[in-house]
Amino acid sequence: MSHKRIPKRKAAIAVGGVVALGAAVILLPNANASQDGASDGVAAAPKTLKAGDASDLATRLSGMLGDAYAGAWYDGEDKRLVVNVVRGEGDLALKARSAGAEVREVDNSMAELEAGAGTLKTEASIPGTSWAVDPRTNKILVTADSTVTGDKWDQLESTVENLGSGMATLKKSAGTFRTFASGGDAIFAGGARCSLGFNVTAGDGSPAILTAGHCAAAGDEWSDQQGGEPIATVDQALFPGAGDFALLTYNDPATEAPSEVNVGGQTVPIVQAAEATVGQQVFRMGSTTGLADGQVLGLNATVNYPEGTVTGLIQTNVCAEPGDSGGSLFTQDGLAIGLTSGGSGDCTVGGETFFQPVTTALEAVGATLGDGGAGAGDQAGGQEQGAGQEAGDGQAGAGDQAGAGDQEGAEDQAGGQDAGAGQDGVGQDGVGGQDAQDRTGTGSGRHSGQDSGLTRTH
């Protein structure tokens, strides 16, 4: 487990192995979705931006444009920020272009889209449904899983139609929305399994774990081995409601919690928490399925799980399966983005997966990513890895993911029950005794064991 003490030399090697990471990772092609009725104005070429810088620019433009702002997304292929401006706001559109963004004029304002989402919450909060604003289409993307049939489907379809033409799109998912209790390094409470997401520092300065809130339903005491001695205790948790997150404090205050994600064969240092941006490429690490990647599809998503409604989530097309809940969502350059909550589908057929934003969870529980004394400062021979630095969203410093590669027996559960927050059918974990590194795939996506870069598995 990566919460245990790590020699400085090993940490330095881990960081060195990630130097080649950025150049070796192949970025996914981002969707250049056309917008209904949208048109691009003629202007100087937009700035070339990294995803994190694009997120910062989007935040600034949101404040500057006010009611004319209608969302933004990151074009990873051309490395530019695309900002939606309500049609007819020419002066503000010019300001956005001058700031370095590509501008698209759209018909639906953010206020109108949020009002539509409010109507869906009032009239169609049906288990098995979700919705989020999709800035690439300037519409609300409404999804229904396979359980939404008959009268429920008719109710949802009617509600979407009543929002008006051009306000929302409705699609059907083949899977079933459920929590994916599990994640990076496996952690256990009784027969239930979840995942350590990121190591953090609690408000009192003690080392702690940030993971999914629905995992806390399985028990208060958590171990790094099934049936083993507890290593952490639930301090705070929220699920369902305005999030899906929990803070577990380590029982041993001397526990070192390095700021990294172990992806099997290499580690990714986590430098800070950051907000997600639509279109951004992200990686997910889970103790069931290993490393997978994809794109952010929507923000502030609402998901109606069987246990209740959860709001404020990140919607992605990154696959996940039972055993992956609580695991880390991060970027190749070390930004902590989210915690695996749930979704539909699996890593064979794909599907939608939702994540709790790390920034929101940190603020709610009063924790920070890294403190410079829990392993973050020991990396690279003592070089600081950003612990205590302010992220663009106001969150602090370096974080950590307990990587699947250092399981140390956590895989011996041989089908241990998954903490499915009370759901039937979510519980069985399909990993058995398989080594975490072998779980990163058997085809072209499998790790070679060389620190040559992240390799997507699904």
> In terms of C-beta density within 10 A (0-12 exposed, 13-18 middle, 19 or more buried), how is residue 42 classed?
exposed
Helix 150-162 to helix 110-123 angle (10° resolution) is 150
Cα end-to-end distance, the chain, whole Å = 24
- Residues labelled catalytic: 214, 244, 325
DSSP string, 406-425: G-TTGGGGSSPBP--TT-TT
Locus of tokens 């496996």: 186
d(C-alpha 242, C-alpha 246), whole Å: 12
Taking residue 287's Cβ as centre, other Cβ atoms within 10 Å add up to 31
List the beta bridge partners of residue 211: 246
> 398, 176 in Cβ contact below 8 A?
no
Alpha-carbon distance values, 124 to 148, 156, 301 (Å): 11, 6, 14
Q: Is 32 left (phi over 0), alpha (psi -120 to 50) or beta?
A: beta
Identity at 133, one-letter amino acid code: V
